[in-house]
Structure 1
Amino acid sequence: MNIDISGRTALVTGSTQGIGAAIARGLARAGARVGVNGRSEASVAAAVERLGDAGDLVAVPADVSTDEGTARVLELLPEVDILVNSLGVFGARPALEIDDAEWRRYFEVNVLAGVRLTRAYLPGMMARRWGRVQYIGSDSAVVTPAEMIHYGVSKTALLAVARGFAKTAAGTGVTVNTVIAGPTHTEGVEQFVYELVDPALPWDQAQREFMREHRPQSLLQRLIEPEEIANLVVYLASPLASATTGGAVRVDGGYVDAILP
């Protein structure tokens, strides 16, 4: 496939590392001008330098989980054609130990950050009759993990958010989708894996034990690489995916045991 999104401007939240960075790289290589976002100027500058050979990148330092940070993003990028809500937090905690403050933090970061940006950018996309909004979801939206139900609930909410905004944009040429990512190999996930298995184990062995003990339903039987998530996101951001909207599209390594997406 020839994926060309030249002339489009994209914003990828939480894109200084991991899945977000891979998505930013993929969109830039496909020709888009890409806003790289993180909370600090230093982390964003470092990410832009690392990704510099990918294409046209714009530094967008701001904490989009806050109203002030969202306003800053809109100053730096008043209009975008492609919005990828990749920012997210996760971590293991026994269900009965998750207090109200932690529930609110997960909802603010994992749900409301994307809602605010969608509310800001979607009208312009609809007026221009072209746009792409994506939320990076998780298999945890469907298979709630016992060790982090607050994370699972926040990702379940994204499925409804995306479907609802897709209805708002119906007939305008704008598509809105959730990408359901499976267990993915990032620095944060490495740390998470070692919270659940023997930290003395070499990484390859630790990864296999984690998948066997905690994610046995994965058909891939390994962690997904961030670039594999990015490949789907880039496709959905392209003109080739013009008929895919309101969906929850899986790149989960077969983790979710279902026939339908």
Structure 2
Amino acid sequence: MNIDLSGRTALVTGSTAGIGFAIAHGLAATGATVVVNGRSQASVDHALAALADVLPRASLHGAVADVGTAQGCAALAAVAPQVDILVNNVGIYGPMDFFETPDAEWTRFFEVNVMSGVRLSRIYLPGMLARDWGRVVFLSSESALNIPADMIHYGFSKTGNLAVSRGLAKRVAGTGVTVNAVLPGPTLTEGMRAMLQDTAAQQGESIEQAGVAFVKAQRPSSILQRPATPDEVANLVVYVCSTQASATTGAALRVDGGVVDSIV
């Protein structure tokens, strides 16, 4: 399958590292003009340089903005006023016991993980509808379905992504615009590597081996039996953004390695 997004502009929030960076790379490789977003000029510049190094012909732009705030979303829209593809990737996570999670932390997760996508979709969807072509993708998580007992606030926000994406797909029904959610499972990002570093050193094993042990212990229902790579997650997102995915909308698409124990 040859995915060609030449002439399309894609914005990937939180794309200076991890899954977001892999998505930006994947979209740029298809010929799309990609807007890389991060909260600091240094992180955006570093990501742009890394992408340009492997894709010297790519059309790349940077946009520094904290999309976890309304002001940040407005600032981003001022830099990138029109996009054909919006990937609402930015997100935060972290374990915290329910009884120790204050209101401010619930609000912070909601603002970053849910409202960033709500605000940016509200900004960019009208233009997509006017052109009768567009793709909006929300990065949810298997934790939206398997709510972690130690990250209820996170699971709640990822379930919110599913509700918003499904509702938006219905709102733009009958048009050339699709809205979907993608649900990764454990993924070997820089954040996960950092989390596993001490354990790997103590056990005298590689980060990859520690990742396998983590999945088997913490996600025993996994069929893949290892963490996915960011590129493996990005591959699904790139397809969902493609012209070929024109009949896929309103879907919650899992790239969780089979962690969610369900046949549907």
Superposition TM-score, scaled by structure 1 size: 0.96
Letter in 2 for 1:47: A
Map 1:102-113 onto structure 2 (within 5 A): 102-113=105-116
Q: 1:3 to 1:126 in 2, by over 3 A?
A: same
Which 5+ residue runs of structure 2 have no aligned equivalent?
A: none
TM-score between both structures, scaled by the size of structure 2: 0.95
Task: Establish whether residue 77 from structure 1 lines up as the match of residue 83 from structure 2.
Answer: no
User: Which residue of the partner structure matches residue 232 of structure 1?
Assistant: 236
Write the distance in 2 (CA, Å) between the matches of 1:204 and 1:137.
Answer: 24
2:125 aligned partner: 122
Matched, 1:86 2:81: no
Where does residue 2 of structure 2 map in the other structure? 2
Give the conservation status (yes or no) of the 8 Å contact 1:91–1:192.
no
C-alpha displacement of 1:206: 2.2
Write out per-residue CA displacement over residues 163-203 of structure 1, whole angstroms, 9 at most, x where no aligned residue: 011111111110000001111001112234468x5762332
- How big is the shift at 1:59? 0.5
1:144 and 2:147 are equivalent in the alignment: yes
In structure 2, distance between residues paired with 1:219 and 1:13: 29
CA contact (8 A) 1:36 1:60 kept: yes
Equivalent residue number for residue 26 of structure 1: 26
CA contact (8 A) 1:137 1:181 kept: yes
**Quick one: which amino acid aligns to residue 151 of structure 1?**
Y
Q: Secondary structure at the match of 1:170?
A: coil
On the 8 A contact 1:110/1:154 being kept in 2, the answer is: yes
Is the Cα–Cα contact under 8 Å of residues 13 and 87 in structure 1 kept in the other structure?
yes
Question: What is the aligned counterpart of 2:255 among 247, 251, 259?
Answer: 251
Is the contact made by 2:96 and 2:151 (CA closer than 8 Å) also made in structure 1?
yes
Q: Distance in 1 between matches of 2:7 and 2:212?
A: 42
Matched, 1:170 2:173: yes
Tell me, in whole angstroms, the C-alpha distance in 2 between the residues paired with 1:191 and 1:100: 28
Query: What secondary structure sits across from 2:140 in the alignment?
Result: strand
Q: Distance in 2 between matches of 1:23 and 1:88?
A: 14
In structure 1, the residue matched to 2:216 is: 212
Amino acid at match of 1:75: A
1:96 is the counterpart of 2:96: no
Q: Distance in 2 between matches of 1:102 and 1:235?
A: 34
- Which amino acid is 1:223 matched to? P
1:13 counterpart residue number: 13
Conserved in 1, the CA contact under 8 Å of 2:38 and 2:44?
Answer: yes
> How many positions carry a matched residue from both structures?
259
- Match among 196, 200, 203 for residue 202 of structure 2: 200
Report how far residue 98 of structure 1 moved. Answer: 0.8
Change (3 A) 1:194 1:156: farther
Counting aligned pairs with the same residue, the percent is 57
